[in-house]
Structures are given as C-alpha cells and as structure tokens.
A and B are shown apart, each in its own frame.
Chain A
Amino acid sequence: MKPAVILVGADKGGVGKTTVSRALLDYLAANNILTRAFDTEFPRGTLKRFHGPITEVVDIGETSDQMRILDTLNSAQIKVSVIDTRAGALGATLRALRDVGFLEAVKAGEFSFTLLHVLGSSIASLDEIAETAPFIDDANYFLVKNHINATTFFEWDPVTNRKYFDRVNPAGEIIVPKLDEMAYEQVEIAGVPFSTFVANKTAEGDPANSSFVLRGYVRTWQAKIAEELRRVRLLDILAQRD
C-alpha cells in the first residue's frame, strides 16, 4: 500500500470540515485502517480534542511542520494520514503541497492523494470548486455535501448548479446527512470520537451515561456516512485496488 494522504478542507468556515474529518477517522478505525491525523487549526486544534492520541496540531505554513507531515509519509508505519485544514487554508495548503513537490510525487505514483472538499451552501463556497481545480489533476477529488442544515446546494436551480459543479470532474460526491443538533452537541460536550460516544464510553474508556436516543442518532448517522464512503470505494482507493 502506498502512503496515502486524505486532505479534508474548504476555504469557507463553518461548513463542517472537522466533523467530516472526525467521521472519516471513525470510519477508517472501524475498518482497521491505522491512521494518523494532522490538525491545521494551529494552535487550538479542534480535531485534537476528539482524536487526541492520533492527532498532531501543525501549522501548515511552517516548513518544519510540512516536513513533519510529508517527510514521514514513507517512513511512518501508519500509511494513511488525514489532514484537517482550518477555515481559509485549503488554497494555501494546496499551494504548499504543490510548492514542496508533493503533488509532483503524487503524479509520479509515489503517494496516493485524496481531497475531500467540503461544500457550504453559499456561492462563495461553490467558487472554491474552480479555485481548487488546478490542483486536483492527480487527486481523487470528492465533493462533500455536508447537510449541516436544510441546504440544497442549489440543486433547485440547474443553471447555478451546473455553473459551479460542471467546472470539475470529481471522482464522486459524498453526502453527509444532517445529525440531530442535540446529539451533535452532546458529543461536543463529551469531547470523544463519535464511535466512543456510540459505545457509551468516556475518553478514558470508562462507562458513560449518554442517552440511548442520542447514541442511536449518532450510530444511524455514522452508518449513513459509512455507506457513502463504501459507495465511493474509499478503502479501495486507499489500497489502490481497481
């Protein structure tokens, strides 16, 4: 298996990038894929709060941190690295990856690169699709429609929809369904991965006392995301299976 980088990003804030990263890390763990994660929300690190043991907070603009991520791709025993970009940093991260030669190495077949581009419901968010296009020639590029609210992503307006979505040729779309607000907030308070919340455990592994209804909402939501990731054959992509 080639080292694989999955970049989860968007320039627009509040579209649920970290939520998608958290769901992705749970999915990979559930499928026995050892993964390390990099949280570029420097220095705070929201992802690290939930997936602390496998997450490092990095400043993607710093050369030393770029080295921490990319120079260890070949040497690390863990072959899948998830990078959760902070708001506004998708373009900068892609440029940094290009400038340090990572995209060239992907083109040469040294690494596998998957970009999960999380979309919001605004035109500004859709504009990012075109801005991202120059960087994704050799990437497995997925548009992620995160239904954090009742947004339709302009599907009701074919002209607007085509104007933005026809600019790129993504490997597919991933639909992240809406999670019940109260369930989401309870996981926030618990500060644990979604799978730990579903298992009714604390971060320390002790029994928790979370509502069965809320755990059920999260379990159902996770199952739907897992179905989406199976549909787009993410594991096959990571394993370079046809």
Chain B
Amino acid sequence: MLPGRDWRGPGDPPDNAEPARPPRSYVYICCAPHGRVGVSTTARLLSDYFIASRRGFVGFDADPHEPDYAPRFSGRVRNVDLSSTQGQIAMIDRLLVPDGEAKIVDLWSRSYDRFFTLIQDIGFVEEARGKNIEPVILFHADPSQASPSAAYTLANALPTVETLLTYNEGAAPFGEQLQDRLAVYPPHRRLKIGALDTLVGRALEPVDLSLSYFLLDPPLDMSLVVRAGLKSWLIPIFAQFRAFEMRRALEEATWLL
C-alpha cells in the first residue's frame, strides 16, 4: 500500500481495533427432570418465534424414541440420542459453533441428568463463553415435590447460567396456589406459557402447523374462534421472548455505561 493512502472503507476496523469477537449466540436449553410438562412446546414456540422474526436457528430434539419437536421443523431440527457419544458430539459440538444463530435444545427428561452431568464434566459453559455463546436454561416447573429441589440442584451446579423458570399452565397446572408453589423455586426470572382451551389446543397438534406462518397468514379453513384463541395465546409468549432478548441486549450494551 502507498504511504498516506488508506484503502479501508468506513465499516473496516481501525489499525488498533481489537480482534473482532464472533457474534453473540444463545443456546436455549428447554428442560425438565420430568416428562409431559411442556418442554417440547416451549422449544417449538421458540423456534417459531425465530422464524416469525425472520432469523435462523438450529434445533435438537433429544428424544430418540418419540420425538415431537424434530418432525415439526424437518431440516432445521435434528434428532439426537444423548446416550451415545456420537449423539453428544452431533449436538454439543454444533452448539459451540459461534455463528450467531440461536440453538434450541428440547431435552428429553430421561436425558436430563446425563446431559447436565456431561456439560459440567466437559466444561461446556466455559468453552461456550470463550466463543461468545451464552447458554440459557428454560427449566420447566411442575407440581411434583421433586421439581423445586431439582431446580436448586441445577442452579447450584451452574450458578452463572441464566435460568428462566418456565411454567406451562396447560401441561403442568399449579392451580390456585401457583404463586405460593413458584415461590419455593430459586429466584429465577419467569416465563409463562398460558393454558389453551382444549379445542384450540387440538389445533396445535398437526405436525405441519407452523405457528409463525399462522401469525402471518392464518389458514382460512380454521375456525375464527380457534384462530383468535391461538393468536391471543401466542402473542404474550412471543412478547416474553422479545422482552428477554431486549433485556439481554441492553445488559450487553457497553455504550450505555
């Protein structure tokens, strides 16, 4: 380059710029120590939230026997068996790719202990942070006695990982004592998935129903009541996801200091 000439464009870094960090990626781990408490629903909702906001994501369904999440997003969500080393590699090595895309894990309840033991043993969180990847746990509460203690065990094991106490009022109802029951959990931020009317809930079942496309262009053959019910269920959930992202973005914005 000739002296005095600078071929850099306005977007190029100055000479003394620090090496660029990879873009921040989030790994959302949807989990519960017990089955049928709405974990796959949350993974599905998160996936549709990213599609609706025109962003990519990579998903993993860790139930090798009866996957519910993977068939809904074929091509984007991979079915893995965490009882095998190959399955662990397929998922965990991919979670650690710093490509800025969200990663969503639908953790099968029977793989819950194995997965969290593994990620502690291999230093997953430290490795992720080194690559600007932030794990977030969506721990699904349920009315069983063991659920709060499992949440405390996880919080103690991974104290630096943000956990959202997720409660699905349809899949794992707490009833009228909701606030009292949630109060015995660790003081995590909360994510509420509302209950759906049975009829409206049935509309969610077809594997080919995309909630993101539903919001943009509801199918005409769907009942108006069902459409309205689904929409009023989805909007506050997506608003919570958006609020989470905005809060994290603000917390990371050093220019506000």
Chain-B contact segment, one of A9-17, A58-66, A102-110, A178-186:
A178-186
Q: Check if A211 is an interface residue, CB within 8 A of chain B.
A: yes
Chain-A contact segment, one of B39-47, B89-97, B183-191, B249-257:
B89-97
Question: Residues of B contacting A180 with CB < 8 Å?
Answer: 85
Given A217-B122, A219-B122, A212 and B85 touching (CB < 8 A)? no
In chain A, positions 188-242 with a C-beta closer than 8 Å to chain B are 211-217, 219-220
Given A213-B122, A216-B124, A219-B122, A181 and B85 touching (CB < 8 A)? yes
Contact A182 B93 (CB under 8 A): no
Q: How close is A235's CB to chain B, nearest CB, in angstroms? A: 24
In chain B, positions 102-143 with a C-beta closer than 8 Å to chain A are 118, 121-124, 127
Contact A212 B92 (CB under 8 A): yes
In chain B, positions 190-215 with a C-beta closer than 8 Å to chain A are none
Contact A220 B89 (CB under 8 A): no
Q: Check if B147 is an interface residue, CB within 8 A of chain A.
A: no
A220→B121 CA distance, assembly (Å)? 6
Contact B85 A220 (CB under 8 A): no
Q: How close is B91's CB to chain A, nearest CB, in angstroms? A: 9
Contact B86 A212 (CB under 8 A): no
Q: How close is B20's CB to chain A, nearest CB, in angstroms? A: 18
Contact A183 B85 (CB under 8 A): yes
Query: CB within 8 A of A214: which of B89, B96, B121?
Result: B89
Q: Which interface residue of B85, B86, B123 has the most chain A CB atoms within 10 A? A: B85
Main secondary structure of the interface of A (DSSP, over half): helix
Q: How close is A186's CB to chain B, nearest CB, in angstroms? A: 10
Question: Residues of B contacting A183 with CB < 8 Å?
Answer: 85
Contact B123 A213 (CB under 8 A): no
Q: How close is B129's CB to chain A, nearest CB, in angstroms? A: 13
Q: How close is B27's CB to chain A, nearest CB, in angstroms? A: 13
How big is the B interface, by class? 10 to 19
Contact B86 A182 (CB under 8 A): yes
Given A211-B93, A212-B96, A213-B93, A182 and B124 touching (CB < 8 A)? no
Question: Residues of A contacting B123 with CB < 8 Å?
Answer: 216, 219
In chain B, positions 70-94 with a C-beta closer than 8 Å to chain A are 85-86, 88-89, 92-93
Encode contact with A along B45-73: 1 for CB under 8 Å, 0 otherwise.
Answer: 00000000000000000000000000000
Chain A minimum-CB-distance residue to B120: A220
Q: How close is A181's CB to chain B, nearest CB, in angstroms? A: 7
Question: Residues of A contacting B127 with CB < 8 Å?
Answer: 212, 216
Question: Residues of A contacting B85 with CB < 8 Å?
Answer: 180-183, 213-214, 217
Q: How close is B22's CB to chain A, nearest CB, in angstroms? A: 15
Question: Residues of A contacting B92 with CB < 8 Å?
Answer: 212-213
Contact A216 B121 (CB under 8 A): yes
Chain A minimum-CB-distance residue to B84: A182
Question: Residues of A contacting B86 with CB < 8 Å?
Answer: 182
Question: Residues of B contacting A214 with CB < 8 Å?
Answer: 85, 89
A184→B22 CA distance, assembly (Å)? 31
Q: How close is B114's CB to chain A, nearest CB, in angstroms? A: 12
Residue positions of A touching B, CB distance < 8 A: 180-183, 211-217, 219-220
**Given A216-B127, A217-B122: 15 more A-B contacts, CB < 8 Å:** A181-B85, A182-B86, A182-B89, A211-B93, A212-B92, A212-B93, A212-B122, A212-B124, A212-B127, A213-B85, A213-B92, A214-B89, A216-B124, A219-B122, A219-B123
> Which 9 A-B residue pairings sit nearest by Cβ, starting from the closest?
A216-B122, A182-B85, A220-B121, A213-B89, A211-B89, A213-B88, A213-B92, A211-B93, A212-B93
